[in-house]
A and B are shown apart, each in its own frame.
Chain A
Amino acid sequence: MEPGGSSGVGSGNSGTYTPEIAESLRFEEEIQSLIHQSFDGSSAAGGSFTALLGLPANQAVELLHHPGPGEPPASAASSSPTAGDLWRLRLGEHHAATDALRLPFGGSSTFVERAARFSVFATDDSPASSSGGGLSPGLKAEPPDSDSPPTLPAPAGRPRRPSKRKECEKSKAKAVAKKSKSAEENTSAAKPAAEENTSGDKLPYVHVRARRGQATDSHSLAERARREKINARMKLLQDLVPGCSKITGTALVLDEIINHVQSLQRQVEFLSMKLAAVNPRIDFSGLDHILSAECGPLAVGSGCGGGASGTAMWASDTAASTGGIRRMPPPQQIWHLDLVHPQQSSTVWENNGAAHPHFLLSPAISLVGYDPAGSVPLNSNQLKMEL
């Protein structure tokens, strides 16, 4: 394995480069693995949520669906064909039962609004339904008897009832949420995933239906829509912040959120302080190349020899780092979990660490030049077999 491209390395000795380049390549791979491991690890904290958060509106929809079901859209004929078909099917299925027909929401917040269970009332149909989706007569017959029983046991935490209906420009499938007794979370969970993800964040116009006995003037309707938007977001935040799901009430939840944000900001400050303490030993200029280069890793340390000269410097840094330790246990605990991995990478770091202080002595040396990229991959394989 000839280090073919080792021109930039400074000492023209190709023979000795081989193991070093291999080691440095190994180092880069370990760093990569560390990063990837930490990626998995750090994402695991919010993993369950972030996975869900891929479609936040989906999540919201799911949350909405949890306590209660949604109704099939009466206006299945109106716009979205796929959703409409599904709904028509479900209409057929559930004609006898009063079970909720979960809405296959596209996962946008628009659906959140629409999907709010609302009872279909013949009285409220005519004035509000300007959207053009008329209720099918079969469905109309259904709601009156199905609605009354479910109305009474309003599912806990889901006081939301159907709201009003407005103009929908985007002609998304309109959801006619129906109250139901049984929960069909699984089907509803499957549906949002299957449905196409609509806008996601924006709420241009919302088709909602006015609840019985509620004011139908535009202002209160608008307010209600706005409130429901905010409540949906609050639910998401509740899931995100640990220990917030049990808390009821906006103020307390906001309290928790504020505490969480403050603690995260404090953690960032603390970590930056620790990094400042440990920093002088590592020359970070080399690392970004390592991180950016996927296939052609840099042999940062291999270029310069004489790493031992820097060891004297390291002793001085321990004092600084130990002085800074004073903080909360949580960061420490988390660190211990990841401790296994840095050990693997640290050995190769050592190679770089040994070389770095040398760079500190001669900052003029540009690390960019040290790049026997061609030879490195071959040597890495060699090294892998060694280990």
Chain B
Amino acid sequence: MQVTRAFKQAFLERMLLGFRATDVSSKSMSFQEKKSFIKLSADVAIAVARGSRKWTRGLIASVSKEQQKRLLPRVIPRKQYERLMKPCSSNSWKIPRSKKILRKSLRVSSTRRKKKLCAVEKRTRVLRRLVPGGESLSGFSLLDETLDYVLSLRAQVGLMQSLLMTCEASKRRAHELKCTSPETKASTVGNRGRCGMRTVVVKAEKQFSLLKKEF
């Protein structure tokens, strides 16, 4: 079973960890930078949550190459990184094939199945570029990794969507609260004491009542 609850939870945890590590909540970043960091966190999270597959290793390798070890040690704990990347000695390792068979198939394909080769081979090449780490995969394992990758991408998209929706919904509520109770602002600015908490409580209770009315 691929898309399990544990997998999703692991993904969310890792992503939030990544957000924290890359500090996307700070004000000092540009929008593009924030977006790239969020995407980075999400991709790394999906790769780590999945475990040790060829595409995950390819993904992490490409990310680390891109980042040049800048942020990655923070986003991924060192131990897990070792564990994930250990089994793969080199990503560009070609699957060893008997030369005789290769020669024969080459001969056969060149003479007879030219058309089929072009159509399928082109697409296989494109797919290799899409799937991370796909350059070194044979036909069969490429399809296998694509399968896995598609499932993980789906889970990633779904979870990011729900996260986004929750954020937006709470933002909406925050605005409503702001509109309905402006007077409490003055009293609670910078105040972390009893009054502040009470105000928060009051606001939350208002929200609950609103919610009850809605449903």
Contact = CB atoms under 8 A, between A and B. Distances in A.
Interface of A: 10-11, 13, 16-17, 19-20, 23, 31, 34-36, 38-39, 41-43, 45-46, 50, 53-54, 56, 201, 219, 222-223, 226, 229-230, 233-234, 236-237, 240-241, 250-251, 254-255, 257-258, 260-262, 264-265, 267-269, 271-285, 287-288, 291-292, 301-302, 304-309, 311-312, 314-315, 317-318, 320-321, 331, 334-335, 338-339, 341-355, 358, 360, 363, 386-387
Contacts of B34: 276, 279
Contacts of A234: 143
Interface string B148-179: 01110111111111111111111111110110
A55 B170 CA distance: 39
Contacts of A347: 173, 204, 207-208, 210-211
Contacts of B194: 11, 13, 16, 305
B135 to A, nearest CB: 15
Contacts of A42: 3, 8, 154-155, 157-159, 161-162
Contacts, number: 325
Contact of A305 (B19, B104, B165, B195): B195
Given A13-B194, A237-B143, A320-B31, A275 B153 contact: no
Contact of B207 (A350, A363, A386): A350
B123 A258 contact: yes
A354 B203 contact: yes
B158 A262 contact: no
Contact of A343 (B100, B181, B201, B214): B214
Contact of A278 (B149, B171, B187): B171
Interface residues of B, number: 97
Given A334-B161, A345-B166, A346-B169, A219 B104 contact: yes
B143 to A, nearest CB: 4
Nearest to B37: A276
A306 B196 contact: yes
A301 B200 contact: yes
A272 B38 contact: yes
A309 B20 contact: no
A257 B127 CA distance: 8
Nearest to A42: B158
Report which residue of A13, A276, A283, A349 has the largest number of chain B beta carbons within 10 angstroms of its beta carbon: A276
A307 B200 CA distance: 6
Nearest to B170: A349
Contacts of A38: 158-159, 161-162
Main secondary structure of the interface of B (DSSP, over half): helix
Contacts of B26: 363
A20 B200 contact: yes
A229 B164 CA distance: 40
Given A233-B140, A236-B147, A237-B147, A271 B160 contact: yes
Report which residue of B105, B140, B193 has the largest number of chain A beta carbons within 10 angstroms of its beta carbon: B140
A50 B3 contact: yes
Given A16-B201, A53-B1, A347-B208, A264 B196 contact: no
Nearest to B108: A223
Contacts of A31: 166
B188 interface: yes
A296 B112 CA distance: 66
